[in-house]
Amino acid sequence: MLQQLSELYKAYANVSPQRIVEIPPSGSARKYYRIIAPPGHEPQSVIGVIGSSLDENETFIYLTEHFRHKKLPVPQILAISDDRMLYLQTDLGETSLFSALETGRKLGGRYNLREKELLRRTITKLPELQIRGARDLDFRKCYPVEAFDKNSILFDLNYFKYCFLKTINVDFNELKLEAVFQLLANDLMQCNCEAFMYRDFQARNIMLSDKGEPYFIDYQGGRRGPIEYDVASFLWQASAQYPEKLRKELTNAYIASLKQYTEVNENTFRNNLKKFVLFRLLQVLGAYGFRGYFERKKYFIDSIPFAIDNIRSGLADNFCPYPYLQTILTAITQLPQFNQPKPVAEKRKDGFKTQVSSIYKSNPIDGLPTYSKYDNKGPLIVRVYSFSFHKGIPEDTSGNGGGYVFDCRSTRNPGRYEPYKNLTGLDESVIRFLEDDGEILTYLDNVYKLADMHIERYIERGFTDLMFSFGCTGGQHRSVYGAEHLAHHINDKYGIEVHICHREQKISAILPAKEIKTKS
């Protein structure tokens, strides 16, 4: 077959390949090769495919030509053998989304902004394939079936029952579970099934261009079906370990993109998505059980705890509306083999404690957090200054060098108007001038957000000193107003002691600590 592939390339390129390199296999029986052209020939490389099923090849070729006609991001078919068992397609490079996310995945789902942007780009492209790709598509040419149906749902649910559930020795009532499976299958079939369902929409099947733009491959198992299935497959992929917050952000991005192509009832979509997440996780556990427990493939055995974590978080989000199935899933999550030991408090040799912090959400790769020697020293006292930039920023007498300096010179300056030249930001007329157009209020709203976040963390850790300074041209109007209002904001909200110093005005005051009544 490799010789036939070489001959197909020669017929296409009018030159023999310099070399042919096999691409590591995935879960498919198809074989992929990167065919390298001799120097000076374009394209420099193409992908050669040796199929194992004529029907599957025909489906891929048909779908690819259809999607290319719709200008969707898929490879181009360059040449097809006479028996249609081999074909050439454009080489989309060696970077898949899966490989691009490797570092974040290895760090237990700690994805950086660049990786999150790649995920966002990918999931916002999906509706275009699902909705535009379905238009004028002859679903009768899909393989092995033309539509998502109840039989395939029940097949996958029984796959979970026999290949996973029975292997881990969880007791269950066969008739009750079968009744739940029938209910779940009926509920899933109530969803709109008129889109193109990719069916294997996962990071391994997304290739990235040099500019990070996603291209779709391996969609030959697609069929008419519900859009929610692909979203569940992508965002609840077990080994990816996407944080719940990231899943919600990407779901929102998907919905926003979907609205460009069709009407969307968000509540209906989200309710349907929960059911497909449930179905997809059962489906995945069935596959992992078979590949892991029966075929003894280590990768799948190692992936099972991640799938169980998804079940655990799903149960916390009430994704299972079937009480009996919920009982079984809860029992699975409580099995000893799926529960990792929790870190315990220790004491270091230098005397400082270590503990699982209630302030920071720790990641296992970080180990246990420690107390700083500055923790738990006493109540926080905040110092707030106003000053003139011409005379320099106030000195931090605490010695810790912390805090903020805010520049007020972007706001309207009362000092440019004669009636206010001899007044300060404490005087009523200057206050009215500054608040007249609301600019200073918007400015301070942003300051308050920063200050609140900082103060709350300092209170939690027991730090004792924090400094804020407001500067303007003369240290008379805007900076005085800003310092005064922040000081009262802090004192009123947190009840902590605040020292005010309007340096250029030689005015000082202390707002004493007070008890804050919480709302019941």
Which CATH number fits the domain that encloses residue 45? 3.30.200.20
Q: Tell me what pLDDT residue 343 has.
A: 43
What are the tens digits of pLDDT across the range 131-171?
Answer: 999 999 999 999 999 999 999 999 999 999 999 999 998 89
Please report whether residue 349 resides in a domain. no
Q: Tell me what pLDDT residue 5 has.
A: 96
Residues 505 and 481 in one domain: yes
- 148 class by beta-carbon count within 10 Å (0-12 exposed, 13-18 middle, 19+ buried): buried
CATH number of the CATH domain containing 216: 3.90.1200.10
Where does the pLDDT of residue 181 fall: very low under 50, low under 70, confident under 90, or very high at 90 and above? very high
Q: Is the pLDDT of residue 491 over 50?
A: yes
Q: 411, 383, 340, 378: which is closest to 469 by C-alpha? A: 383
Residues 258 and 399 in one domain: no
In whole angstroms, give the CA distance from residue 208 to residue 223.
Answer: 24
In whole angstroms, give the CA distance from residue 45 to residue 92.
Answer: 9
Of 90, 108, 142, the one marking the end of a domain is 90
| Count of the separate structural domains present in the chain | 3
Q: 172, 68, 195: which is closest to 126 by C-alpha? A: 195
Domain that holds residue 299: 97-338
Residues 181 and 325 in one domain: yes
Q: 45, 77, 67, 100: which is closest to 210 by C-alpha? A: 100
Helices and strands of the chain, counted as H and E runs = 15, 16
Please report whether residue 271 resides in a domain. yes
Please report whether residue 369 resides in a domain. no
Residues 56 and 205 in one domain: no
- 464 class by beta-carbon count within 10 Å (0-12 exposed, 13-18 middle, 19+ buried): middle
- What residues pair up with 50 in beta bridges, in sequence order? 31, 86
Q: Tell me what pLDDT residue 437 has.
A: 85
E strands in 37-168: 45-50, 77-80, 86-90
In whole angstroms, give the CA distance from residue 411 to residue 155.
Answer: 67
Please report whether residue 376 resides in a domain. no
Q: What is the pTM of this model?
A: 0.79
Residues 45 and 121 in one domain: no
What are the tens digits of pLDDT across the range 96-141?
Answer: 999 999 999 988 888 999 999 999 999 999 999 999 999 999 999 9
DSSP H/E element including 109 = none
In whole angstroms, give the CA distance from residue 355 to residue 369.
Answer: 6
In whole angstroms, give the CA distance from residue 451 to residue 411.
Answer: 19
- 335 Cβ contact partners less than 8 Å away, ≥ 6 residues apart: 168, 170
Residues 217 and 147 in one domain: yes
Residues 326 and 457 in one domain: no
Residues 391 and 482 in one domain: yes
Residues 82 and 12 in one domain: yes
Residues 57 and 206 in one domain: no
What are the tens digits of pLDDT across the range 182-199?
Answer: 999 999 999 988 999 999
Of 90, 120, 154, the one marking the end of a domain is 90
Residues 157 and 292 in one domain: yes
Of 46, 75, 90, the one marking the end of a domain is 90
Mean pLDDT of the region 464-481: 96
Residues 85 and 102 in one domain: no
